[in-house]
Structure 1
Amino acid sequence: MKIGLIGNDTSHVEIFSSMLHDENHSFYINDVEFSGFIESYSEDLPISRDRAKKYKNVLLSYHIPEFDDVQTLNEEVDAWWIITVDGRNHLQWFEKIASFQKPIFIDKPITIGLENFDRMVELATRYETPIFSSSSLRFSELLKGIHKDDVEFLYGFGPLPLQEKMPGYYWYGIHSLEWMDALFDCDVRQLERKRYERYEIVEFLFQDGRRAIFRGDYEWHDQFGGVVHCKGLPPKMLEFWKMKKSYYVSLLEEVLEFFKSKNPPFNIQRTRRIITWIEELQKF
């Protein structure tokens, strides 16, 4: 399978290209490759601008060629991956490739704002183009075996560094929202957000009456986790950073299955639910 990559400004470039192109990687996947990439980064977003050169060199080190336009690269690929970190330009790139009718995975966030999301889904429907977007944490091995109907309460925690150009939960907070949605799979009736000097607390009241509390730390770290309470079972501690099988591996497996089957693992409206939560949290 041959994949076209859009973007070279995020650590995900190195994480996923190593699994597809480094035969010594513990989770190396054969017969799949990034067949080319389109350079994309944002001058006004430091996390994009300051990393673009590094990750472009990573791609070139794997002999993945750079292409100047999507039309030429499209002739070489079976599927597309929009990986650029800046969610503000995801719709722009999607508009360029949707008509090719090849499956497209869009790295988180799928886009910024509900209007852009709805436009993206409209295009996907018009061209019958399969689309899928997710955080890597949604498919973590830790969450397998927990049935959503058994979940009663969750205390979650994780990093929440903020970016002015990708406000609120659009950059890092979305990771935690995604894995929480994987557990509850339920719309929210009410959200409360309280900010403190070094962290913030968000309280979730779901439509079915269940509750969750999330603590987001403004300083970056890699410790996503929580304590989940299920019916008739002792509380279960979730420590994503201790898993032997990285959640990135689990996500890549889901993406490749999607590229093959052209059927996303869940309905795109669940992704809309995440964007709705983020927009609601912006009001606090």
Structure 2
Amino acid sequence: MDTSYNRRRFLKTTALSGLGLSLAGQLPGLAAPAPGKRVGIIGLDTSHSTAFTKVLNAADASGELLGYKVVAAYPYGSRDIETSTKRIPGYIEEVKKLDVEIVNSIQDLLKKVDVVLLETNDGRLHLEQATEVLKAGKRVFIDKPIAASLSDTLKIFEASKKYKVPLFSASSLRYIKGVEGLDKSKVVGADTYSPAVLEKTHPDFFWYGVHGVETLFTVMGRGCQSVVRVHNEGTDIVVGTWADGRVGTFRGTRTGKHNYGGTVYTQDGNTTLGPYNGYQPLLLEIIKYFETGQVPVAPEETIEIFAFMEAADESKRRGGAAVTLASVLEKARKA
């Protein structure tokens, strides 16, 4: 999350749980990570970058992190989204205190690292940046949104296939409390909600609504065929119909308190989703992926999530008409 509330909550939680968020000046010199464990970051314009670095580079980092350390970072990152660009100078100073070298290009970065966290929240840059990493044969986690268009989303996964490097992308809301232990084979429907604040450079839900949509697909799984969107100034509701007849809804709020959660309806009763679990569960999955090359989220599911959001936008443009995911995917493949 990029909200100050969740950033403060994450820092507090990880400090209390012993993940070792070291204060500035407590790292007299970080031991060099073992071969294969050097992490590079692209994009110091999001709080995710500093949060992940503080956990990975802590003097008493958890053994679950397998010795991975951030050793270098390329700061850019958005150059024209003000809420992002203004963070870069401060975040550069934060990671430098954690023994992270600042480099001038992605090519310089790739010479110094084994794996990459593509963290800039400007999805317009992701296709070009991810392709550089994939060409170099390095595993890459792409933070949300994977791209700023459905067309670019497809092209990123095409590049992954071309260069034979599996990649992983997800929102941290995939690991919201309540998901663990859920028997997804018994899910008959779900309602989820999250903030859906807008950024003019990105399609509607791609910027922030992706969090709640990812939660919906985490519990419902793939197979959504069509969506209908109900729009007003403060809230948008998207109703998705799955191929097996199940219905899942996402409610995105523009104003008010930023909450994340939902309800899952199962054959055994209802399960409440929430509260937000912080970044740690996602980071552990990223490390497993770096170590094994096995992706925890299939490319097809990530593509369907972004097709769902694009279909929701199209439904809005059509005044709430039903729009199939197949139709927006066909259009994106031609773009």
Q: How many pairs align?
A: 279
CA contact (8 A) 2:192 2:213 kept: no
- Quick one: which amino acid aligns to residue 36 of structure 1? A
Match of 1:119 in 2: 155
CA apart distance, 1:72: 2.9
Structure 2 residue 305 is the aligned partner of structure 1 residue 274? yes
Match of 1:255 in 2: 286
Matches within 5 A, 1:156-167: 156-167=192-203
Match of 1:239 in 2: 274
Structure 2 residue 159 is the aligned partner of structure 1 residue 138? no
CA contact (8 A) 2:71 2:99 kept: no
CA apart distance, 1:89: 0.3
Superposed CA deviations along residues 138-174 of structure 1, whole A, max 9, x for unmatched, are: 1334201112221112222221111111121111111
- SS of residue matched to 1:161: coil
CA contact (8 A) 2:187 2:267 kept: yes
- Quick one: which amino acid aligns to residue 279 of structure 1? E
- 1 CA distance for matches of 2:268 and 2:294? 35
Superposed CA deviations along residues 223-273 of structure 1, whole A, max 9, x for unmatched, are: 20112111032x2222223xxxx3411100100000010111132111111
CA contact (8 A) 1:160 1:173 kept: yes
- Quick one: which amino acid aligns to residue 198 of structure 2? L
Match of 2:320 in 1: none
CA contact (8 A) 1:157 1:224 kept: yes
TM-score normalised by structure 2 residue count: 0.78
- 2 CA distance for matches of 1:150 and 1:189? 19
- 2 CA distance for matches of 1:267 and 1:215? 24
- 1 CA distance for matches of 2:190 and 2:64? 34
- Quick one: which amino acid aligns to residue 51 of structure 1? R
Match of 1:215 in 2: 251
CA contact (8 A) 2:66 2:287 kept: no
- SS of residue matched to 1:31: coil
| Identical aligned residues as a percent | 27
- SS of residue matched to 2:146: coil
- SS of residue matched to 2:178: helix
Matches within 5 A, 1:70-109: 70-109=106-145
- Quick one: which amino acid aligns to residue 285 of structure 2? E
Taking a change above 3 Å as real, the CA distance of residues 65 and 30 of structure 1, as seen in their structure-2 partners, is same
CA contact (8 A) 1:151 1:229 kept: yes
Match of 1:32 in 2: 68
Taking a change above 3 Å as real, the CA distance of residues 220 and 100 of structure 1, as seen in their structure-2 partners, is farther
- SS of residue matched to 1:258: helix
CA contact (8 A) 1:141 1:247 kept: no
- 2 CA distance for matches of 1:240 and 1:26? 23
Superposed CA deviations along residues 174-223 of structure 1, whole A, max 9, x for unmatched, are: 11111111101122222111122321211121111111222211026442
Q: CA RMSD in A?
A: 2.0
Taking a change above 3 Å as real, the CA distance of residues 25 and 78 of structure 1, as seen in their structure-2 partners, is closer
- 1 CA distance for matches of 2:217 and 2:183? 12
CA apart distance, 1:77: 1.4
- SS of residue matched to 1:143: coil
TM-score normalised by structure 1 residue count: 0.91
CA contact (8 A) 2:191 2:216 kept: no
Taking a change above 3 Å as real, the CA distance of residues 26 and 216 of structure 1, as seen in their structure-2 partners, is farther
Match of 2:295 in 1: 264
- 2 CA distance for matches of 1:49 and 1:72? 21
Match of 2:226 in 1: 190
Matches within 5 A, 1:59-70: 59-70=95-106
- The runs of 5 or more residues in structure 2 that have no matched partner are 1-36, 317-335
- SS of residue matched to 1:138: helix
- The runs of 5 or more residues in structure 1 that have no matched partner are none
CA apart distance, 1:28: 8.7
- SS of residue matched to 1:263: coil
- SS of residue matched to 1:282: helix
